[in-house]
Structure 1
């Protein structure tokens, strides 16, 4: 599993891992039932604490992306299409919020931003 940690990022390491693992699941690179690396092996690979990886796996389990079986490991959960769709919608919402903030920061009015959005939709 290819995960890249940016130590200079303001985003916590466990969140970076969560985002990337979710991305692999949503893109179909990690399939339902597929085992994730053990906490220790992924921690060693990423050169981070095992507690950091454990926290990532716990978050993924809380969000329904991973199932952990005591003594067996963590596995990709049943891919709930509704859950995956909601995650993708959240990503789009965040991207739109970022674009609006950028537009406003360079002096664009809401009308200018709306007009630009309509033009892009027409393409």
Structure 2
């Protein structure tokens, strides 16, 4: 199974984190349905051109969160995720992205007003494009 995960080796974020965030989003959004068999650790590592240890960490982290289930001898599957949990994961991801953006803005000395203006312009642009 091919997963639409893209990695940016130029990013400051570790590769395992990039994979984990994207895989979590695929599960929480419902793009990967409950019971979907994921590629083996080796297969995914090979397709993403990263180490087996990196993918193993991602699978373990997501299993700890309750998003994945591993069955010895058969593989790793998407776990059942309740709608409340989906909503919580979805909102946490957005809050984390906003916090990262705000921190980046503060680093380059953007004022609160500048950040607010940027946010509203982007929000308007993205919702205008969807209409």
TM-score (norm 2): 0.74
Question: What is the CA RMSD across the aligned residues, in angstroms?
Answer: 2.6
What is the rounded CA distance, in whole Å, between the counterparts of 1:107 and 1:38 in structure 2? 44
Number of corresponding residues: 118
- Alpha-carbon distance, 1:34 to partner: 0.5
4+ residue segments displaced more than 6 Å: none
Equivalent of residue 21 in structure 2, options 19, 22, 25: 19
**Larger Rg belongs to:** 1
Unaligned runs of 5+ in 1: none
Unaligned runs of 5+ in 2: 125-131
- 1:1-123 map, 5 Å: 1-98=3-100, 100-101=102-103, 102=105, 106=109, 108-109=111-112, 112=113
2:129 counterpart residue number: none
Question: Please, which moves more after superposition, 80-89 or 43-52?
Answer: 80-89
- Alpha-carbon distance, 1:43 to partner: 0.8
TM-score (norm 1): 0.79
- Alpha-carbon distance, 1:96 to partner: 3.8
| Distance change (3 Å), C-alpha of 1:100 and 1:8 | closer
